[in-house]
Amino acid sequence: MESFAGLVFANLDTEALPLGDQTGGFLDDLTSAAAKIDDLVRVESYEVSVAANWKTILDNNHECYHCSVNHPTLMKIVDYDSKARWSDDGITFTHGVERMLVDNGAYDIGTTLEQEAMFGYIWPTTVPLVFPGSPSLFIFHLIPTGPETTIERWDFLLGHEEPSGQERRLMNYIKNVLVAEDVRLCENVQQGLHSRGYTQGRFVVDRNNVNFSEHHVHFFQKMVRDALAEDKSCHSAEQRHLPS
């Protein structure tokens, strides 16, 4: 168990490497992106049930190819088209995105901007999100509850316990608009995976244009494949009574 910026990370693997050894520069990037991260306090938590496999949800989370169609308001808040930067390091990735319009129809970013946007990921099921505006950090965890059902557990962290009007609008926007848009999309994708016409997808990859590139979906699916292969080799070794 390790703590970072008030967050507690647990790994049940007794052979697990330290968090910093697995995450490269990610924790530094998160500290830079989320203003006053050490002082943030949790002001709200809630859960969302999604009729989709947890990997379907993360496939969606790992690309913004769907954003301009699925999240028209988000695209007025952040400039994914020309200014998004990305990194992947160990078991993490980031998309760093500059803010766009102060007057964007979702929430008031404010003129004294204290942080830009950074959308991150920590394998396997943790998604930290930084939105433009006052100091804040939003994190959701995925809890698989069945082959086609998942619970998203959201935690909203702010610089103080009583949200301002602007912060309340941001939280309402994430909960009622952004998350709802992705839940609808993921549930449709999950249904589509049952189609007889579906066999295997293709990735759209252009690392210079993270606004539509799916290289982080590939990044994620490789980790899933490696974890399953490792699990399979452990089980077969146990069955043969060999050391795993």
Write out the residues near Fe ion by the rule CB under 5 A: 182
Give the residue from 214, 181, 209 showing the smallest Cα distance to 72. 181
Between 116 and 182, CB nearer to Fe ion: 182
Q: Is 123 exposed, middle or buried (0-12, 13-18, 19+ CB in 10 A)?
A: middle
**Least CB distance to Fe ion at residue 197 (A):** 24
Between 71 and 99, CB nearer to Fe ion: 71
**Least CB distance to Fe ion at residue 50 (A):** 12
Distance of CA 216 to the CA centre of its chain: 11
Between 29 and 182, CB nearer to Fe ion: 182
Between 182 and 214, CB nearer to Fe ion: 182
**Least CB distance to Fe ion at residue 217 (A):** 12
Pull the structure tokens for residue 156: 């909203």
Number of C-alpha atoms within 13 angstroms, CB side, residue 16?
14
Please give the residue whose beta carbon sits closest to Fe ion in the complex: 182
Give the residue from 11, 4, 3, 31 showing the smallest Cα distance to 125. 11
CB of 108 closer than 8 Å to CB of 169: yes
**Least CB distance to Fe ion at residue 73 (A):** 12
